[in-house]
């Protein structure tokens, strides 16, 4: 979950690393640090708290030189303090490491090292790595071989970068398992290492992704990649389409707000090149889907975590309704240990913004073990979930920096709609005119999303009215039930308000007891096939004194008299309605958090990609 940046080349590494870390701060933000080689010595600066604290420290006590490595941390072992912040120096002060992951056998390794007289200066598991490297260096190995030995000794999943004052012309890094990526950025006479592409996008777009159990030696003019066992690899060089401007906040106060507003563009890009409005056909070439394969599929198991899983729940409805293939959603952390019944006629479809979520990747691996076909819908280009899948749909959203996922929620809704239409078409379950109509409806997306966004001032007004709420219930049904979950999650994670999403029909089986004047109810009630049911649910909530906020379709006359506030969304075919109904809920959570003065983009205890179990 932590962010890592490394630089080797003629420039001063300090500003390069600090600016790279700024772009990775969403990955972890409880402490940060950097190390550079200055006049033959490794100089380290580390500070607890956000990156601004480290910037302050570096201003007071500057360091410059190269190579250099930096880290922004999401604590797993050891409290978030300067002492536990990375980089960690070895006892000689000549070797330094940054690390993302958990050394699962660290207690055992620490005991061994302690019995050899090694003193530990932090409470982290990471520190064993640098001591082990020094231990191997002392036997006469060079940095590369000492690192290799160490990489093989540590258990768990890791991204690691090391450098040594005694071998100043190189950095050594490795990826082991699914602890987040390790990306090598290729420059001219300089090279970069990062846990995530945005950190290096301002310098290069040419990148190499390390696979699990690969390590690399990075020098100014070259990189060499090999397996931990020493077999040379000819890595593929990818050119990343995102530019660094996409990772800036621009005119917006927060990344989350910017990303909410980017949804018109991201959804337009989602359709570009994939929909032929003339023929009424969908193309998803990255999926490698043939009519035979489409007909063979008997079941689709969607796996994901958090917001991505809620997107999957909408996808389940679309796939079943349009393609008539049974679909289910199993969250990654459950699927991986559930001994699932999967076979060659089952597709495991993973959805992930980062493509590096450990639970989702483990669920995919379980699918692989059981012989299922693996597909993914992923935002981060070149991430693990994209690489290990048999076929993949790339979300066209650009980098998502805000920890609360917004545009990476709506993109997979449309991706799954496209997938459902394509499957239906290839399996011959759709007549021509229905297929054309479903495809033609997609034209509406930019307009309906744009119009929902234009109502931001109305949502902001309601946010002011509700700013002090302590609890909130979100209700939805059918295709909009997952929107209730997603709306509640958004409010929880950035506003720290207790919120629950609930299938509205289940209220009468218990939760209705919670409703009183202190429990606002957000009812998602657009004109979809569950509309009448939602109307009666709103009446039931109102009858118990609840304050009701409804998400309703423009022109609805029945709902406003029953509610305290209405968020209007444009009319649209019901299968597309979730891309509109979620928008006021994203905005509501955003504005409540902003009004409360909370750290919208970096909410407490969270990190953007969850690369630990
Ligand atoms: C969303 O707002 C969350 N921060 C979180 O639930 C997220 O969607 C989840 O961790 C999955 O991440 P992924 O899409 O990168 O796999």
Could you read off the pLDDT of 275-298 as tens digits, one per residue?
988 888 999 998 989 999 999 999
- When pLDDT is cut at 50, 70 and 90, the band that residue 450 belongs to is very high
397 Cβ below 6 A of ligand 1: no
308 Cβ below 6 A of ligand 1: yes
Nearest CA, atom 6, ligand 1: 306
Nearest-atom index, ligand 1, CA of 403: 4
Q: Which of 2, 305, 472, 572 is catalytic?
A: 2
Distances (CA, A) of 480 to 398, 506, 539, 579: 26, 14, 18, 10
pLDDT at 69: 97
Q: In the predicted model, is pLDDT for residue 360 greater than 70?
A: yes
Active site residue 608: yes
Ligand 1 centroid to residue 449 C-alpha, Å: 22
Q: What does the pLDDT average to over 66-94?
A: 88
Q: Contact, 385 vs 286, CB < 8 A?
A: no
pLDDT at 382: 80
- What is the DSSP secondary-structure string of 37-103? EETTEEEEEEEESSHHHHHHHHHHS----SSEEEEEE--SSS-SSTTTSSPEE-TTSSEEEEEEE--
Ligand 1 centroid to residue 548 C-alpha, Å: 28
> In what side-by-side order are the strands of the sheet with 373-378?
327-331, 299-304, 346-352, 373-378, 391-394
- When pLDDT is cut at 50, 70 and 90, the band that residue 196 belongs to is confident
Q: Contact, 418 vs 435, CB < 8 A?
A: no
- Torsion on CA atoms 597, 598, 600, 605, rounded to nearest 10: 170
Q: Which of 353, 400, 404 to mutate to test the pocket of ligand 1 (most atoms within 8 A of CB)?
A: 353
Nearest CA, atom 9, ligand 1: 306
Q: In the predicted model, is pLDDT for residue 178 greater than 80?
A: no
Which residues sit opposite 550 in a β-bridge?
523, 566
pLDDT at 380: 87
pLDDT at 456: 95
357 Cβ below 6 A of ligand 1: yes
Tokens of 72: 């922004």
Tokens of 274: 């994939």
306 Cβ below 6 A of ligand 1: yes
Ligand 1 centroid to residue 330 C-alpha, Å: 15
Nearest CA, atom 5, ligand 1: 306
Give ∠ CA 573-574-580 in degrees, rounded to 5: 90
352 Cβ below 6 A of ligand 1: yes
Q: In the predicted model, is pLDDT for residue 486 greater than 70?
A: yes
pLDDT at 216: 97
Ranked by mean pLDDT, the top range of 272-281, 306-315, 354-363 is: 306-315
Ligand 1 centroid to residue 394 C-alpha, Å: 16
Q: Contact, 608 vs 403, CB < 8 A?
A: yes
Beta-strand relationship, 232-233 and 223-227: antiparallel
Q: Contact, 375 vs 340, CB < 8 A?
A: no
Q: What does the pLDDT average to over 349-364?
A: 94
Say which range, 21-35, 324-338, 363-377, 404-418, has the weakest mean pLDDT. Answer: 21-35
Q: Which of 407, 490, 492, 608 is catalytic?
A: 608
pLDDT at 45: 96
Nearest-atom index, ligand 1, CA of 353: 14
Minimal CA–CA distance to 391: which of 374, 379, 378? 374
Q: Which of 26, 195, 405, 605 to mutate to test the pocket of ligand 1 (most atoms within 8 A of CB)?
A: 405
Total-model pTM: 0.78
403 Cβ below 6 A of ligand 1: yes
Task: List, for residues 143-164, the tens digit of each pLDDT value.
Answer: 999 999 999 999 988 999 999 9
Nearest-atom index, ligand 1, CA of 354: 15
Tell me the C-alpha distance between 198 and 181, whole Å.
Answer: 12
Nearest-atom index, ligand 1, CA of 406: 2
pLDDT at 46: 95
How many residues in total does the chain contain? 613
Tell me the C-alpha distance between 217 and 161, whole Å.
Answer: 10
Write down the mean pLDDT value for the chain: 92
Ligand 1 centroid to residue 400 C-alpha, Å: 11
Nearest CA, atom 16, ligand 1: 352
- When pLDDT is cut at 50, 70 and 90, the band that residue 506 belongs to is confident
Tokens of 137: 């260096």
Tell me the C-alpha distance between 63 and 414, whole Å.
Answer: 48
CA 298 to chain centre: 29
Ligand 1 centroid to residue 353 C-alpha, Å: 7
Q: What does the pLDDT average to over 212-234?
A: 95
Place of tokens 């693990």: 384
Q: In the predicted model, is pLDDT for residue 347 greater than 70?
A: yes
Ligand 1 centroid to residue 257 C-alpha, Å: 17
Task: List, for residues 240-284, the tens digit of each pLDDT value.
Answer: 876 666 667 777 889 999 999 999 989 998 998 899 888 889 999
Q: Contact, 159 vs 103, CB < 8 A?
A: no
φ, ψ (nearest 5 deg) of residue 10: -80, -15
């Amino acid at each position: 979950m932590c962010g890592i940046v490394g630089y080797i080349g003629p420039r001063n590494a300090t500003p390069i690393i600090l600016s790279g870390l700024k772009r990775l701060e969403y990955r972890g933000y409880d402490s940060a640090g950097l190390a550079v080689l200055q006049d033959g010595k490794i100089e380290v600066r580390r500070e607890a708290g956000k990156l601004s604290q480290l910037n302050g420290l570096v201003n007071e006590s500057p360091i410059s030189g190269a190579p250099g490595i930096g880290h922004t941390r999401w604590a797993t072992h050891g409290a978030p303090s300067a002492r536990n912040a990375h980089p960690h120096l070895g006892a000689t002060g000549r070797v330094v490491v940054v690390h993302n992951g958990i050394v699962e056998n660290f207690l055992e390794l620490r005991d061994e090292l302690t019995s050899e007289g090694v003193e530990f200066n932090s409470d982290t598991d990471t520190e064993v790595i640098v001591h082990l490297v020094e231990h191997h260096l002392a036997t006469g190995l060079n940095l590369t071989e000492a690192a290799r030995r160490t990489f093989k000794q540590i258990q768990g999943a890791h991204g690691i970068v090391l450098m040594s004052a005694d071998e100043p012309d190189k950095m050594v890094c490795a990826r082991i398992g699914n602890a987040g990526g390790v990306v090598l950025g290729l420059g001219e006479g300089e090279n970069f290492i990062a846990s995530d592409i945005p950190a290096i996008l301002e310098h290069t777009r040419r990148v190499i992704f390390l696979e699990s159990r690969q390590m690399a030696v990075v020098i100014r003019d070259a990189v060499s990649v090999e397996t931990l066992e020493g077999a040379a690899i000819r890595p593929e060089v990818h050119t990343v389409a995102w530019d660094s401007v996409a990772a800036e906040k621009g005119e917006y106060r927060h990344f989350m707000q910017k990303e909410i507003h980017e949804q018109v563009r991201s959804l337009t890009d989602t359709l570009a090149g994939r929909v032929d409005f003339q023929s009424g056909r969908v193309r998803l070439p990255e999926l490698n889907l043939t009519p035979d394969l489409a007909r063979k599929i008997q079941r689709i198991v969607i796996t994901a975590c958090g917001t991505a899983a809620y997107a999957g729940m909408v996808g389940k409805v679309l796939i079943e309704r349009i393609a008539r293939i049974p679909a289910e959603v199993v969250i990654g952390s459950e699927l991986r240990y559930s001994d699932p019944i999967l076979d060659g006629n089952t597709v495991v479809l993973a959805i992930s913004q980062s493509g590096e979520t450990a639970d989702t990747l483990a669920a995919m691996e379980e699918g692989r073990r059981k012989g299922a076909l693996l597909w993914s819908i992923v935002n981060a280009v070149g991430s693990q979930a994209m690489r290990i899948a048999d076929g993949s749909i790339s979300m066209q959203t650009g980098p998502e920096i805000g920890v609360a996922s917004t545009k990476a929620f709506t993109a997979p809704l449309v991706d799954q709609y496209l997938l459902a239409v394509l499957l239906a078409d290839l399996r011959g379950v759709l007549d021509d005119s229905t297929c054309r109509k479903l495809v033609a409806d997609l034209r509406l997306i930019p307009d309906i999303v744009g119009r929902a966004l234009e109502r931001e001032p109305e949502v902001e007004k309601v946010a002011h009215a509700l700013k002090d709420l302590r609890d909130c219930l979100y209700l939805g049904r059918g295709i909009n039930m997952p929107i209730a979950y997603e709306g509640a999650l958004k409010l929880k994670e950035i506003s720290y308000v207790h919120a629950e999403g609930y299938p509205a029909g289940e209220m009468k089986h218990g939760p209705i007891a919670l409703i009183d004047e202190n429990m606002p109810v957000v009812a998602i009630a657009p004109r979809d096939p569950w509309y009448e049911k939602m109307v009666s649910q709103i009446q039931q909530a109102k009858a118990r004194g609840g304050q009701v906020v409804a998400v309703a379709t423009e022109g609805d006359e029945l709902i406003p008299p029953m509610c305290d506030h209405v968020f209007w969304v444009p009319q649209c075919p019901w299968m597309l309605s979730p891309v509109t109904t979620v928008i006021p809920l994203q905005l509501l959570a955003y504005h409540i958090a902003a009004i409360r003065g909370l750290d919208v983009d970096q909410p407490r205890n969270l990190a953007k990609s969850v690369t630990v179990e």
